[in-house]
Structure 1
Amino acid sequence: MSASMRRGVMWTVPIVLVAGGYALFTLSHVPAGQAILAQAIGSFYQASASLGLVVNDIEVSGRETTDVPTILAALAADRGTPILAVSPSRAKQQLEALPWVRSAAIERRLPGTLYVRLVERHPLAVWQHAGKQELIDSDGEVIPIKDFSHFAHLPTVVGESAAHHAADLLATLAQHPELASRVTAAVEVDGRRWNVRIDNAIDVMLPEEDPSAAWSRLAAMERENSVLKHDVQSVDLRLPDRVVLRSAAVPPQQKEAGPAKPRAAGKNT
């Protein structure tokens, strides 16, 4: 190609691109043009399909909870769909609107594979606040599902800001799994510290400062002396130099009432 021809091509390509872009912009803003544009795009997709550019396989990684039909519905793609008609950006938006999906990435791997990579939320606890209960993930974000009866084994955290501090608390408790497995609930006190309930019966008051050390102290006491098996109602760990154990109050035994004794007869006056 001569130098003059190359210069001609260099000038022609930008002009064609600008003109084509202007034509598409104009068509998209005119009702009749929109119909023409939609028809042209549809024809383009059909032409690409005739060349073999259709969805033959959908690969999904990272899926744990979200069911496959829900993913396919979000992709708006079935086997045989023109692969170029699948919008990765739209599919990403639809997938990330699902309750269990934290983030999603979609790739078109030509000629016929859609690859979906999901990062799902992991349930951490049940958050009780304002008279309601919600399932939260490890970031303290609500997982918007209505039925979470399958997660009854998770601890309940109580308090307006408890959701945002739950991960730190549970990480502290997990340092001693044998004790953490017995935790059924935790109540945040004034947004500063926690009262932890063990075996749904014993309240453990953790300090605001260094709750990890206090929890380790209790774990050691339980391993060595099984202190939580001695009719304990509460454990106060808020003081660094002592542990205060309070036993459950034993109600006094009520005597069985016998038959009423007859009153002695009095004199008539």
Structure 2
Amino acid sequence: MTADAGLSVEDVLVEGRKRTNAAAILNTLDVERGTPILAFSPSSAKAEIEKLPWVKQAIVERRLPNVIYVQLIERQPLALWQKEGILHVIDQNGEVIPKAKATKFASLPLIVGPDAPDHAREILALIESEPDLGTQVKAAVRVSGRRWNIRLNNGVDVQLPEEDPTDAWSFFARIEREEGVLERDVVLVDLRLRDRLIVRTSGGTAKDKTKSVKGKKT
């Protein structure tokens, strides 16, 4: 009766779609032109649409006389997470985005470790706090669920402390600006002791560079 009265679906309007497949939305709505619009359940459609991989939240409405309106809030990719040798795309909440292909997001930062997604936002904020160093980062590796190692593009590992890692990262950035540590034959930078920077060379020699830095932080 509603179709005869002109209350039938003539159009579906979707806003906010960037990565969600359009056909998947239409299939999930399960309506076609001429479907009685009052027979369509927005709440049921909302629940089903929010099961789609890229959808974080959806608003679904009947706009009488003949439009189904859908507004999407999509999940935003944050990083690539390496787990057991497989790369997964994670969102801002550290959750894996199902069916997202890592190869399409190769420019995202890489994190490694079982609980790395739970702490991804904080380590990425730390890395970005020092842009000159940040551009040299290849991966952030979570160690024993307590702290991070930062692997640089040149293969150098930077060991961050469990406490105050941001201060340690800033400390390293200052030393790098003043002394150019990374221009030398270095394979490891140990920042786990407060206000100290110990470097290990490819020959296995460890040197405490802190004393040579002017204006050392206290």
C-alpha separation in 2, matches of 1:245 and 1:131: 29
Whether 2:148 is the aligned partner of 1:194: answer yes
- Using the TM superposition, give the Cα deviation of residue 148 of structure 1 relative to its aligned residue in structure 2, in angstroms: 1.9
Describe how 1:58-77 pairs up with structure 2 within 5 A. 58-77=12-31
Whether 2:75 is the aligned partner of 1:121: answer yes
2:9 aligned residue (44, 51, 55): 55
Distance 1:211 1:180, change over 3 A: same
Calculate the aligned-residue CA RMSD, in Å. Answer: 2.0
Structure 2: 5+ residue stretches without partners: 205-218
C-alpha separation in 2, matches of 1:123 and 1:67: 16
Describe how 1:140-179 pairs up with structure 2 within 5 A. 140-145=94-99, 147-179=101-133
The amino acid of 1:232's aligned partner reads V
- Using the TM superposition, give the Cα deviation of residue 202 of structure 1 relative to its aligned residue in structure 2, in angstroms: 1.4
The higher relative CO (CA closer than 8 Å, separation ≥ 6) is in 2
Whether 2:28 is the aligned partner of 1:95: answer no
Match for residue 91 of structure 2?
Answer: 137
TM-score (norm 2): 0.84
- Using the TM superposition, give the Cα deviation of residue 215 of structure 1 relative to its aligned residue in structure 2, in angstroms: 1.2
Higher helix content, 1 or 2: 1
Q: For 1:130-188, what per-residue CA distance to the aligned partner results, in whole angstroms no more than 9, with x for missing partners?
A: 45332211111111116321112222222111111112111221222332232221111
Higher strand content, 1 or 2: 2
1:232 aligned residue (172, 183, 186): 186
Structure 1: 5+ residue stretches without partners: 1-46, 251-269
Q: Is the 8 A contact 1:154 1:184 kept in 2?
A: no
Match for residue 164 of structure 2?
Answer: 210
Distance 1:159 1:207, change over 3 A: same
Describe how 1:4-43 pairs up with structure 2 within 5 A. none
C-alpha separation in 1, matches of 2:74 and 2:82: 23
Match for residue 58 of structure 2?
Answer: 104
